[in-house]
């Protein structure tokens, strides 16, 4: 068959399913248009409900602020009256102060001292409910005693200095909620109503004065009281048949109802379907005509393409003919390009080989850098391990003197601390480089934080023998305090470490051109031109002596760059070459104001000798050593080797604090914490997670499971003692 016959059959084959699918689509469109109208009604109801809640949220916030007023606490009712009127302003909100027996002491709707009608029993019940707990209470629609008009109230209890209990009542007139109705894109035929918890009409967009305070028709009232949120078919008070949607506010318990005449919803859907049907029919007729015309053009274009293919088969470069059909034109262009490609294949092959050689060289360079890093890491780990092994051998030596044993213990303690620092640095670098560190930003002064870091290093004796100058100004930033200190300390540590004795280090902080700028310059060993572009790469570092006298893992600058960029800033390194010093510049976004750079640190909690502590760990050595340390420190120590035994011991012995490992063989430490908190007898035990899992997610999960404190192994004794003392306070709380 010729291509024209194929096209005719294709069009005929397509018409039948197109007509059927169009019919189904038009039916779906009818439902869709109806649903679209209902969706618009739901959006209007939701917007009205949110606007109503916004008014109550304002009242709640203002009521909370007034409840903490010192004027109120001192019992100055006249002063508090003025304070309430000023706070309400022109918001439409009024304030009443109610005594515990339901009497209104004043109401800002009338002058101070105006006599107000005595309370009704319903008012006393509302006041009693507000005094019973500290939450806000939103009332049903009521008649105000001061105004005699319909109002709604939000009430909160407060306590005066003399012990008297009062209720602050923030109230709106019913007409105030007119502002909650949508102002735009709402047809005049739509009926919107706001109803209180009992279904009483608070306000209506049509005939508001006539229906306020009255119940709607029975079908709508029943739906409101049942808490329904589906589509309701009902009749308005005027007798109009409506589609009605309901939106209930979880904050106030009020319901918003939006009703639209059924005829309006159905008419819009039918009109949309009619227009769509006409469009589908026109499209089908146009498709038939277009198939005939395009078939003729396609035949001519394919004839040109077949001649081009014959030319390529003869070894000729086909001549491109201008085709009205893109695909055929691309085919002819492809045939033409195929001829040219044969001539270029040799050159392209050489280019690919050169690229492969370059990529291999880069990979080999990165592999060497990785090997250098691993070799350096092995060296850094073997040094403290060697010292620890020697110290243990010395302690086991029978002829060791007390002084020698003391020095050995001190050396072991120092080297264990060094190992912990190396592991922490590697884990921290991994979290930073993979973007798994979450920042807790706050307003800080970059200058104050830098000055605190310099003071800390000075107290530790770092930078001795160097001429250190500091030109530090105020530079407010939004940053995570711990991570900002980490950035500054890494740069200062590098400057001190790689500057020989007698050299100079200069630290400057300033606000420049809307940026906070920190600059650390030194006269040290400098950076070579080859290393300078790679100085912030994680596996790149300068040449080091065989003994690595300067120490470190060489990943500090990579961490600095990652942390600075996560704060939205940038960092760069400059150097005139080896032996000519270096300058590191950090630029951070400048914040609108400064804050204290360093927060006061809490003093360690005092140890309570004789306190009963339960140690839970399946590692015998770790458990025994921790038990011995705590026993020597004055605690009474209980032990458990798994989660189930821990639950039995805790319930039987009732320790003040439990120190629990997370990775237990039967129940995880998280499960143990959850079960201890669930038991009445053990719910108040202080719980400390002592574990090797130290990620941010591990810490959050421990606290969510019921732990009071999370410590990462190995923990220092003073930190553990401080944690035990703090956790034990939960027993008496």
pLDDT in tens, 712-724: 887 777 888 889 9
How would you class 256 by CB atoms within 10 Å of its CB: exposed for 0-12, middle for 13-18, buried for 19 or more? buried
Find the mean pLDDT for residues 355-365.
Answer: 77
Residue 606 lies in a domain: no
Residue whose pair of structure tokens reads 């470490």 in the numeric block: 497
Q: What's the start-to-end Cα distance of the chain, in Å? A: 92
Based on the domain organization, do 367 and 448 belong to the same domain?
A: no
Based on the domain organization, do 191 and 325 belong to the same domain?
A: no
Distance, in Å, from the CA atom of 623 to the CA atom of 175, rounded to the nearest integer, reads 70
How far CA 587 is from CA of 225, 242, 554, 569, in Å, comes to 60, 63, 22, 5
Based on the domain organization, do 321 and 188 belong to the same domain?
A: no
Residue pLDDT, tens place only, 440-493: 889 999 999 999 999 888 877 788 889 999 999 999 999 999 889 989 998 998
Domain boundary among 240, 274, 289: 289
Domain boundary among 251, 272, 289: 289
Q: Looking at residue 540, what is its pLDDT?
A: 57
CATH of the domain at 427: 1.10.287.130
Distance, in Å, from the CA atom of 396 to the CA atom of 400, rounded to the nearest integer, reads 8
Distance, in Å, from the CA atom of 727 to the CA atom of 730, rounded to the nearest integer, reads 6
Total domains in the chain come to: 4
Q: Residue 106 region, left (φ>0) first, then alpha (ψ -120 to 50), else beta? A: beta
Q: Looking at residue 519, what is its pLDDT?
A: 96
Based on the domain organization, do 427 and 447 belong to the same domain?
A: no
Contact 186, 41 (CB under 8 A): no
Which pTM was predicted? Answer: 0.39
Residue 169, pLDDT above cutoff 50: yes
Find the mean pLDDT for residues 289-295.
Answer: 71
Average pLDDT, the chain: 82
Residue 25 lies in a domain: no
CATH of the domain at 256: 3.30.450.20
Residue 304 lies in a domain: no
Distance, in Å, from the CA atom of 131 to the CA atom of 138, rounded to the nearest integer, reads 14
How far CA 75 is from CA of 72, 130, 131, 133, 168, in Å, comes to 5, 19, 18, 21, 13
Backbone Cα Rg of the chain:
40
Residue whose pair of structure tokens reads 């001192």 in the numeric block: 74
Contact 291, 92 (CB under 8 A): no
Residue 95 lies in a domain: yes
Based on the domain organization, do 375 and 464 belong to the same domain?
A: no
Based on the domain organization, do 36 and 153 belong to the same domain?
A: yes
Q: Is the dihedral of CA 700, 703, 706, 707 positive or negative?
A: positive
Spatial strand order in the sheet of 201-204: 201-204, 191-195, 255-261, 241-248, 231-235
Based on the domain organization, do 351 and 282 belong to the same domain?
A: no
Based on the domain organization, do 62 and 156 belong to the same domain?
A: yes
Question: Interior CA angle at 297 toward 291 and 300, to 5°?
Answer: 140
What would the two tokens of residue 171 be?
A: 């109230």
Residue 35, pLDDT above cutoff 60: yes
Based on the domain organization, do 429 and 469 belong to the same domain?
A: no
CATH of the domain at 504: 3.30.565.10
Domain boundary among 413, 435, 457: 435
Question: Interior CA angle at 700 toward 696 and 703, to 5°?
Answer: 140
Contacts of 189 (CB under 8 A, 6+ apart): 260, 261, 264
Which of 28-32, 110-114, 612-616 comes out lowest in average pLDDT?
28-32
Helix (H) or strand (E) holding 612: strand 612-616
3 state DSSP class of 249: coil
Residue 225 lies in a domain: yes
Q: Which domain holds residue 522?
A: 437-589
Based on the domain organization, do 424 and 460 belong to the same domain?
A: no
Based on the domain organization, do 566 and 649 belong to the same domain?
A: no
Residue 595 lies in a domain: no
Residue 150 lies in a domain: yes
Find the mean pLDDT for residues 378-402.
Answer: 69
Residue 241 lies in a domain: yes
Based on the domain organization, do 619 and 549 belong to the same domain?
A: no
Residue 672, pLDDT above cutoff 60: yes
């Amino acid at each position: 068959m010729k291509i024209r016959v194929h096209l005719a059959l294709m069009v005929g084959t397509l018409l039948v399913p197109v007509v059927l699918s169009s019919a189904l689509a038009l039916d779906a469109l009818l439902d869709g248009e109806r649903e679209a109208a209902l969706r618009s009604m739901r959006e209007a109801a939701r917007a009205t409900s949110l606007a109503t809640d916004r008014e109550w949220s304002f009242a709640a916030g203002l009521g909370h602020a007034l409840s903490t007023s010192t004027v109120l606490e001192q019992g100055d009712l006249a002063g508090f009256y003025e304070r309430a009127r000023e706070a309400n302003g022109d918001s439409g909100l009024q304030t009443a102060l109610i005594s515990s027996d339901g009497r209104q002491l004043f109401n800002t709707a009338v002058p101070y001292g105006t006599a107000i009608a005595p309370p009704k029993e319903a008012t006393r019940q509302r006041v009693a409910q507000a005094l019973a707990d500290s939450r806000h209470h939103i009332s049903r629609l009521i008649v105000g005693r001061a105004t005699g008009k319909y109002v709604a109230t939000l009430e909160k209890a407060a306590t005066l200095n003399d012990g008297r209990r009062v209720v602050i009542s923030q109230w709106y007139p019913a007409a105030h909620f007119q502002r909650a109705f949508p102002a735009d894109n709402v047809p005049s035929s739509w009926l919107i109503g706001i109803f209180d918890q009992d279904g009483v009409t608070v306000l209506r967009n049509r005939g508001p004065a006539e229906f306020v305070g009255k119940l709607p028709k029975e079908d709508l009232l029943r739906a409101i009281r049942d808490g329904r949120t589906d589509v309701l078919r009902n009749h308005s008070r005027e007798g109009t048949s409506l589609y009605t949607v309901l939106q209930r506010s979880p904050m106030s318990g009020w319901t918003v109802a939006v009703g639209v005449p059924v005829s309006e919803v159905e008419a819009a859907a039918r009109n949309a379907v009619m227009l769509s049907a006409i469009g589908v029919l026109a499209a089908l007729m146009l498709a038939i005509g277009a198939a005939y015309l395009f078939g003729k053009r396609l035949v001519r274009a394919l004839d040109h393409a077949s001649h081009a293919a014959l030319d390529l088969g003869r070894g000729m470069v086909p001549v491109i003919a201008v085709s009205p059909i893109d695909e055929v034109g691309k085919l002819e262009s492809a045939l033409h390009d195929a001829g040219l490609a044969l001539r270029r294949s040799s050159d392209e092959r050489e280019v690919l080989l050169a690229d492969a050689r370059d990529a291999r060289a880069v990979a080999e360079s990165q592999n060497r850098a990785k090997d250098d890093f691993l070799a350096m890491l092995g060296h850094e780990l073997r040094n403290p391990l060697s010292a620890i092994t020697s110290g243990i051998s010395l302690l086991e030596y029978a002829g060791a003197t007390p002084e020698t044993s003391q020095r050995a213990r001190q050396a072991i303690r120092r080297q264990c601390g060094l190992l912990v620092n190396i592991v922490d640095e590697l884990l921290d670098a991994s979290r930073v480089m993979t973007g798994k560190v979450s920042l807790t930003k706050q307003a800080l002064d970059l200058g104050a934080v830098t000055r605190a870091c310099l003071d800390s290093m000075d107290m530790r004796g770092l930078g001795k023998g160097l001429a250190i100058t500091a030109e530090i100004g105020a530079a407010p930033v939004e940053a995570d305090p711990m991570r900002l200190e980490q950035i500054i300390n890494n740069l200062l540590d590098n400057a001190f470490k790689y500057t020989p004795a007698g050299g100079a280090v200069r630290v400057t902080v300033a606000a420049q051109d809307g940026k906070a700028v920190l600059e650390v310059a030194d006269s040290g060993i400098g950076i070579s031109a080859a290393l300078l572009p790679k100085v912030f790469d994680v596996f790149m570092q300068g040449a080091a002596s065989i003994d690595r006298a300067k120490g470190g893992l060489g990943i500090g600058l990579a961490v600095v760059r990652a942390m600075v960029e996560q704060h939205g800033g940038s960092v760069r390194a400059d150097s005139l070459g080896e032996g000519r010093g270096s300058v590191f510049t950090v630029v951070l976004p400048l914040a609108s104001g400064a804050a204290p750079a360093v927060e006061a640190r809490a003093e360690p909690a005092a140890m309570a000798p004789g306190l009963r502590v339960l140690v839970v760990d399946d590692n015998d050595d770790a458990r025994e050593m921790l038990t011995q340390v705590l026993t020597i420190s004055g605690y009474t120590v209980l032990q458990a080797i798994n989660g189930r035994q821990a639950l039995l011991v805790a319930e039987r012995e009732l320790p003040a604090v439990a120190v629990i490992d997370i990775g237990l063989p039967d129940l995880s430490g998280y499960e143990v914490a959850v079960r201890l908190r669930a038991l009445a007898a053990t719910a108040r035990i202080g719980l400390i997670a002592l574990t090797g899992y130290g990620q941010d997610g591990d810490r959050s999960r421990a606290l969510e499971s019921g732990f009071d404190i999370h410590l990462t192994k190995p923990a220092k004794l003073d930190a553990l003692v401080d944690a035990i003392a703090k956790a034990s306070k939960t027993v008496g709380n």
